[in-house]
Amino acid sequence: MTTELPGSPTPERPAAQPADSAVAAGDVTALFERARGGDRRALGRLLTYTERGGPLADAVAVAAWPLAGAAHVVGMTGAPGVGKSTLTDRLAQVAAEDGRRVAILAVDPSSPLTGGAILGDRVRMGSAAAPGGPFVRSMASRGQSGGLALAALAAVRLLDATGHDLIIVETVGIGQVEVDIARTADTTIVAVSPGWGDAVQANKAGLLEMADIFVVNKADRAGAADARRDLEYMLDLGHGTGWRPPVALTVATTGEGADELFKHVQDHRHHLRTSSAGAERRTRHVAEEVRRHLHRWVDLLVAQPSQEAAQLFAEVAQGTLAPSAAARRLAGELPERDATADAGGDKPEV
């Protein structure tokens, strides 16, 4: 069975524009070298190639992969309206003052109707307009449940490979399902605001497992001390050994607490480097990205099935083939598994 997966048009991988087809791999290499030297226009074009997908994106990935791995990736997540964009901007300013070369990747939600996105996070990021400020790129989530498209992961690697010390990924802020960033960032910051809820709600949302650092933003409002107390109580009840997430108080509009937040980021980075946690986390991140690529290819296979795949789907619909058996055929030869590991309720293969 042959299925043309790479390069096929999909909602997340649009067909290459005619102008792109004339761009040689050598041109991508030249753009990459310019981007490493600080040319933001070249970096922006490489990011565009990465978002579009196809052969040019693959060429960018090949150039970036050997040089990536030195940057520290910080994920900024939390409910909408908590002040993530302003807080990200303040954190970037403090990091830049500390001599870091900072990049910000702001992931915005895509419209379920048009597929477009506002991409307006930089409106709240004053440092982006300042000379020598952080490099800021907005990117649409493209329907990913956790707010991160595969292109965003490739963009982070490109920013890493072009010499950025600190990369802050600000997510769309969609509540309880927003866990993708915790699977890809080195340090995950969860921002809340006064009146956000209690410890029980935090556990329901999975915040305890997700966060490396908690931030109570808008701390100049009533209830900030209560929010911090609830978070500390939650950590006392559920935290085990190892890194204990600190709880910082910030007022992003004024910059209050941003220095303390950056110190927590640095402390967590030191923890990852001096313990086995760092290597383990990076291994999980790589495995997660491979899993996402496989999942995307499977989605394409279902959306645009080959003749053989369509025949298998028909057999499943007719009740002559179990879904688990059809999946094994499509995936090729896989190690045998116990029957109980397959989805319950499948009819036996006939």
**Tokens 């003749």 belong to which residue?**
307
CA 121 to chain centre: 16
Please write the tens of the pLDDT for every residue from 88-122: 999 999 999 999 999 999 887 655 454 555 555 55
Q: What angle do CA 232, 263, 221 make, to 5 degrees?
A: 50
Distances (CA, A) of 317 to 133, 226, 308, 311, 331: 57, 55, 14, 10, 19
Please write the tens of the pLDDT for every residue from 119-146: 555 556 666 556 678 999 888 766 554 4
Give the pLDDT band of residue 24 (cuts 50, 70, 90).
low
User: In this predicted structure, what is the pLDDT of residue 336?
Assistant: 47
Give the pLDDT band of residue 298 (cuts 50, 70, 90).
confident
0.75 cut: is pTM over it?
Answer: yes
Domain with CATH 3.40.50.300 in the chain: 69-275
CA 181 to chain centre: 4
**Which CATH number applies to 69-275: 3.40.50.2300, 3.40.50.2020, 3.40.50.300, 3.40.50.1000?**
3.40.50.300
Least trusted range by pLDDT, from 1-5, 151-155, 228-232, 247-251: 1-5
**Tokens 């895509």 belong to which residue?**
110
Give the pLDDT band of residue 326 (cuts 50, 70, 90).
confident
CA 291 to chain centre: 14
pLDDT surpasses 50 at 5: no
Helices (H), the chain: 18-21, 25-36, 40-52, 55-64, 84-97, 150-161, 199-204, 207-210, 224-238, 258-273, 277-303, 307-318, 323-331
Give the pLDDT band of residue 299 (cuts 50, 70, 90).
confident
Please write the tens of the pLDDT for every residue from 46-85: 999 988 888 888 889 889 989 998 999 999 988 888 889 8
* pLDDT greater at residue 350 or residue 288: 288
